[in-house]
Amino acid sequence: MNTVTCSEEVEDARSAGTAIVALESTVYSNLGLPSPDNERALIRCLDAIREAGAVPAVTAVLDGQLRAGLEEVEYDRILGPAKKAAERDLPVAIGQGWDVGATTVSASLEIAQLAGIDLFATGGVGGVHRGVEMTGDISADLSAIARHRVITVSAGAKSFLDLPRTLEVLETLGATVVGWETDVLPAFTARSTTCPIPYRIDDLDELVSIARAQLGFGRGMLVTNPVPIEDALDQNLHDTALTTALADAKATGIVGAAITPFVLDRIAEASGGASIPANISLLVNNTTLAARIAGAL
């Protein structure tokens, strides 16, 4: 079995039985938020987890090694250029000794499970892409959420995805999906969609009880947590920008993984940059909730 190298802080937390929350590194790299917003987001998320009494474990591949938690001097490495590492890429990243591999949701869940970490927080998960009947494009995030014994907290899924089909695939895979104080699936920087969530949970003790039971089955689940209302994008502005961006992407032949940065850049432009603070806000909100769950577990 591949081993995971943990930071000193994470090793101490494991020994002491302190709660730990895993984080992906893609969003904090040059592949995610632009500089210096990525560093600002990272600092706020690390602080939020620690303030909630837990320990952060940023996942990554550094010098060909799987990592759960970074030392202070290593954070600069993930803030700069990196190769994107999904779960399927991890053997290559190890075998080729990648300098910096920024882990996606699927890779982060694999590393978290190997390190024995029960909670993982991210921004918005991937899902079923529109036009899947032609492309077959379904994010590996969904199967990873279902397979790994880790609870994922996110602000729903990226809004440009086929959200009804995303929920259907999660159901098919046997992934439990609950909404924290919401009846509908959030859509990243937008708070609401027309997709109902199977279970709404408003009590933290109840949420923790469900998480504990799910971990007992040896599987994961998705906790959807809407972006704070004061930082959410105006719904009409978001929906209009999304529709326009998707039409432009189709007209220019942008498909696959290239759609994500294209659409997010268009939404940022249409919102006058408001999508960046919204993105940071939802990241902090998710890490805080994940730390509260981890602490209670």
93 phi, psi to nearest 5 deg? -60, -40
Of 9, 87, 110, 158, which is the active-site residue?
158
CA separation for the pair 57, 43 (Å, rounded): 13
| Separation of alpha carbons 266 and 171, rounded Å | 31
C-alpha 2: how far from chain center:
23
Query: In which element (H, E) is residue 241 found?
Result: helix 235-251
Count Cβ atoms within 10 A of the Cβ of residue 72 and give its class: 0-12 exposed, 13-18 middle, 19 or more buried. Answer: exposed
CB 127 within 8 A of CB 144: no
Find the catalytic residue in 9, 24, 87, 110: 24
| Residue 24 a catalytic site member | yes
With 0-12 CB in 10 A as exposed, 13-18 as middle and 19+ as buried, what is 247? exposed
Q: CA quadruple 169, 173, 174, 177: dihedral positive or negative?
A: negative
For residue 158, indicate whether it is catalytic. Answer: yes
* Catalytic residue positions, numbered: 24, 158
